[in-house]
Amino acid sequence: MVDRQEVMRLSFLPGKDQPVQMIRASSRPKMRFRELSSSDRRPEAVEELMQEAFSEPFDLVQGPLYRATVLRRGADDHLLVLAIHHAIADGWTLGAFVQRSVLRLRAWTDGRLRRTPCRASSPTAIGALPSALFGEAS
């Protein structure tokens, strides 16, 4: 998804009068994985870990402007914590990200996941994704 959505590869360079947007040609997804101990599985402890992820500052020059952390609470119990800088968190981007994530998760759990060629996204491409991948209406 990172290579498909330019905004997920966006960072800002200092410019003469104002910051300049830079979109990297490609980028590997940045994800952290954390196995939780039994004491870390308590709702209060999970909330604290989430707040830590949300409080950590972003490097606007180096990027990425998102942070994804998977907290493993058990063999079949995982929690995705996603912190996104407001500069890339518009309604369309968040909607596209959630839509793609849900579709891919559903396909993976149903054994239908297949790799699709990488290409830049647009609102039209996102709207056509369900029918292109699964023959479903958007």
- Of 1-15, 18-32, 58-72, 124-138, give the lowest mean pLDDT range: 124-138
In our burial notation (b when 16+ CB lie closer than 10 A, e otherwise), range 22-43 reads eeeeeeeeeeeeeebeeeeeee
Report the share of the chain in percent with pLDDT over 70.
80
DSSP state at residue 138: -
Give alpha helix (H) positions in the chain: 43-55, 91-109, 123-134
Confidence of residue 116 (pLDDT cuts 50, 70, 90): low
Q: What does the alpha-carbon distance between residue 97 and residue 68 come to, in Å, rounded to a whole number?
A: 12
Structure tokens at 46: 């999970």
Tell me: pLDDT of 128 over 60: no
What is 1-88's CATH topology? Chloramphenicol Acetyltransferase (3.30.559)
Go through 107-122 and write b for each residue having 16 or more CB atoms within 10 A of its CB, e for each that does not: eeeeeeeeeeeeeebe
* Tens-place pLDDT, residues 46-83: 999 999 999 999 999 999 999 989 999 988 888 889 89
Confirm whether pTM is higher than 0.85: no
The residues spanned by each domain of the chain are 1-88, 90-138
Give percent of the chain with pLDDT exceeding 90: 31
Of the CA atoms within 13 Å of residue 90, those in its CB half-sphere come to: 9
Residue 26 is which amino acid? S
* Mean pLDDT of the residues in the chain: 80
